[in-house]
């Protein structure tokens, strides 16, 4: 799979597989190609060469994957003129979930995004970056998808919310056998949550390893060296 912008190759991945039920951490420096990779996986971009397949079928040939996929890459995924309840009800309806069942499902995430009376009437565009991100993450998770893609889910969250989110992601993966890709600059969080790490650098996968006790130290060493090399 290859994606180019004009003459520049932004992403070049000859082959890569994700097994059902895996929690994968996608890491890399700014400009490594992570967002392009995630956008290709969600069919927001099309590769210039190669294809992306789910269960053997190309993304563009079979849209059934959309009904079982939850995702949040950035704030553009939100409908900013809706309130929090309106938006979550809208997402639920898009997945064929009734209003009553939507709130039943949201009970499992109680405490991650406490909705006050004021917040329940506030438009999404008026929320802080952190709370807007929580809404987007909730919308990706509460519909009980088979596949979840999250870009920088821990950024802009306060420490208690980061801790709760890690617990939610681990629990969701184990209890629901949910396949996840979590892109993050927070190496500590991503190695705690994910059982496999894919490392991108300059649009190429240079490491694809199972998470172990040594993984965090290995990644810290790599990025420390990467910073030095970039400065020379």
What is the band of 229 on the pLDDT scale with cuts at 50, 70, 90? Answer: very low
What is the band of 43 on the pLDDT scale with cuts at 50, 70, 90? Answer: very high
Q: Looking at residues 50-69, what average pLDDT do you find?
A: 89
Domain ranges of the chain: 2-77+147-231
Q: Looking at residues 189-210, what average pLDDT do you find?
A: 96
State whether residue 52 is helix, strand or coil. Answer: coil
* φ and ψ of 59, to 5 deg: -50, -45
Q: Looking at residues 103-108, what average pLDDT do you find?
A: 94
Q: Looking at residues 50-60, what average pLDDT do you find?
A: 87
Q: Which residues contact 116 (CB under 8 A, 6 or more apart)?
A: none
In 3D space, the residue among 52, 18, 20 whose CA is nearest the CA of residue 36 turns out to be 52
2-77+147-231 — its CATH code?
3.40.50.300
Residue 118 CB neighbour total at 10 angstroms: 7
Q: Judging by beta carbons within 10 Å of its beta carbon (0-12, 13-18, 19+), is residue 170 exposed, middle or buried?
A: middle
Does the CA dihedral 211-212-213-217 come out positive or negative? negative
pLDDT of 227 reads 55
pLDDT of 104 reads 95
Q: What is the pLDDT of residues 131-181, one digit of tens each?
A: 999 999 999 999 999 999 999 999 999 999 999 999 999 999 999 999 999
CA distances 14 to 50, 52, 214, Å, are: 8, 11, 27
């Amino acid at each position: 799979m290859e994606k180019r912008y004009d003459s520049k190759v932004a992403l070049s991945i000859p082959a890569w597989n994700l097994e059902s039920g895996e929690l994968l951490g996608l890491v890399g420096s700014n400009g490594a190609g992570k967002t392009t990779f995630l956008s290709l996986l969600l069919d927001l971009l099309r590769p210039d060469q190669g294809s992306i397949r789910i269960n053997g079928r190309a993304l563009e040939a079979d849209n059934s994957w959309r009904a079982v996929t939850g995702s949040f890459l950035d704030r553009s995924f939100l409908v900013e003129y809706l309130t929090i309840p309106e938006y979550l009800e809208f997402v639920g309806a898009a997945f064929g979930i009734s209003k009553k069942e939507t709130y039943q499902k949201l009970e499992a995430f109680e405490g991650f995004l406490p909705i006050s009376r004021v917040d329940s009437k506030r438009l999404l565009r008026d929320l802080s970056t952190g709370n807007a991100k929580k809404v987007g993450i909730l919308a990706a998770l509460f519909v009980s998808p088979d596949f979840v893609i999250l870009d920088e889910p821990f950024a802009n969250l306060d420490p208690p919310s980061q801790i709760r989110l890690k617990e939610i992601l681990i629990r969701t993966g184990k209890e629901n056998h949910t396949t996840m890709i979590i892109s993050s600059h927070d190496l500590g969080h991503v190695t705690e949550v994910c059982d496999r790490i894919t490392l991108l650098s300059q649009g190429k996968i240079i490491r694809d390893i199972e998470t172990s006790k040594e993984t965090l130290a290995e990644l810290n060493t790599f990025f420390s060296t990467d910073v030095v090399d970039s400065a020379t």
